[in-house]
Chain A
Amino acid sequence: AQTVTQSQPEMSVQEAETVTLSCTYDTSENNYYLFWYKQPPSRQMILVIRQEAYKQQNATENRFSVNFQKAAKSFSLKISDSQLGDTAMYFCAFMSLTGANSKLTFGKGITLSVRP
């Protein structure tokens, strides 16, 4: 079974600064996807970024980028130029591509606060 670990329960960052959220995972599989989701107080989970394990290049989406270290099973999210609207819970998630196993396994999440 896969596990996803987010060891930092809370982080705080000043507006316009850069922050990195950590995530590690454990799997014996070789083909999988990794995701970061954001959950603001509105409760809706919003996909921030996705990484395919077979791609060596780190994914980027505007101010969001990841540092994917497959051997170390590490998948951190970097948020540049933090904005007040980035305040939310962030979840790291794993999805196996083996068979029909299309479920997401989530970490416990990290609460990010952006200070004005």
Chain B
Amino acid sequence: KAGVTQTPRYLIKTRGQQVTLSCSPISGHRSVSWYQQTPGQGLQFLFEYFSETQRNKGNFPGRFSGRQFSNSRSEMNVSTLELGDSALYLCASSLDGFYGYTFGSGTRLTVV
């Protein structure tokens, strides 16, 4: 079966712009989580959505937001981009959010 698909793979944006990243989970998975990976901070939890509702949120500013659609696909939005937002953004899906997550290959965001 198809895995977790993230688009785009690479993105270059300018400071102050906004960006939207997309994640298509494994079919049947209702939980989608987002993580930010940087060399300095490692992997940090952004938020989790389950059946279109945000169930958990990490310690990120309000510029980071997300949503989940009825087909479980999720989008993550970052507004007013800063240089420090440059990172690999990973999406992960799970049946219920506990059994174990399957990750996508990520979107590499570079802010210049």
Question: In the complex, what distance in Å separates the CA atom of A56 from the CA atom of B108?
Answer: 39
Does A20 touch B at the CB level, under 8 Å?
no
When A and B form their complex, what is the total count of cross-chain residue pairs whose Cβ atoms lie within 8 Å? 57
CB distance from B102 to the nearest CB of A (A): 7
Partner of A91, one of B33, B43, B98: B43
Q: With an 8 A cutoff between CB atoms, is B104 at the interface?
A: yes
**Contact (Cβ within 8 A) A42 B105:** yes
Interface size on A, residues (CB 8 A): 23
Shortest CB distance B26–A (Å): 13
Is the pair A97, B98 in contact by a Cβ cutoff of 8 Å?
Answer: yes
Taking CB as reference atom, which chain B residue is nearest A109?
B42
Chain B residue nearest to A49 in the complex (CB):
B100
Contacts of B92 in A (CB 8 A): 45, 104
A75 to chain B, nearest CB (A): 15
Contact check, A102 vs B56: say whether CB atoms are below 8 A apart.
yes
| Interface flags, A82-95, vs B, CB<8A=1, else 0 | 00000000010001
Further 9 A-B residue pairs, CB within 8 A, beyond A43-B108, A102-B94, A103-B58: A33-B98, A35-B100, A42-B105, A43-B90, A91-B43, A101-B56, A102-B56, A102-B96, A103-B56
Q: What residues make up the interface of A, taking CB atoms closer than 8 Å to B?
A: 33, 35, 37, 42-47, 50, 91, 95, 97, 100-109
5 interchain pairs, CB-CB under 8 A: A35-B100, A44-B104, A45-B103, A47-B100, A97-B98
